[in-house]
Amino acid sequence: MTQEAEGYQERITLEAQGEVARFEKLLPEYQAAKEVTRERLYIDTMQEVLANSSKVLVDVKGGNNMMYLPLDKIMEKQGSSTRVALPSSSDINDLRNKVNTSRNSTVNSGNDRFNNDRFNDGR
């Protein structure tokens, strides 16, 4: 029991030291280019989180909505032997344009009541 506790202490201490070293390496980069570093950290984190997911999320630029494409469910219905063709970048851009110009929604318009809320002011 004592050895487990000492091993745990050692592991936690080393992990903390590693995090401090990572932070100290990142701090000058962040101070030099805050927005670029913040965006890069976000992208890296999202890649790590979503790397093993079979789901596709499409973010509409300038919008508050995110579309979910259940490709995993489609693939299950098709069977594993059938190949599923993923949409091309032009198909995705067409879809984005359709969502942005939708007459049924004001979410993506300048009249959006959430457009200037505290979460969209660049913080």
What are the tens digits of pLDDT across the range 98-123?
Answer: 776 654 454 445 555 555 555 555 44
Answer yes or no: is pLDDT of 41 > 70: yes
- For 108, other C-beta atoms within 10 Å of its C-beta total 19
pLDDT at 103: 46
Task: List the one residue out of 113, 21, 15, 9 whose CA is nearest residue 64.
Answer: 113
Note whether 62 and 111 are within 8 A (CB): no
pTM check: above 0.75: no
Q: Kindly tell me if the per-residue pLDDT of 67 is higher than 70.
A: yes
Residue 84's pLDDT is what?
56
Check residues 57 and 42 and name the one with the higher pLDDT: 42
Task: Name the nearest CA neighbour of 123 among 38, 60, 62.
Answer: 38
Q: Which residue type, as a one-letter code, is found at position 28?
A: P
- For the chain, the domains span 1-52, 53-123
Q: What is the pLDDT of residue 9?
A: 94
Provide the pLDDT for residue 111. Answer: 53
- 58's enclosing H/E stretch is strand 56-59
| Sign of the dihedral defined by the CA atoms of residues 28, 30, 32, 36, in that order | positive
Place of tokens 């457009």: 115
d(CA 11, CA 6): 9
* Whole-number Å distance between alpha carbons of 121 and 118: 6
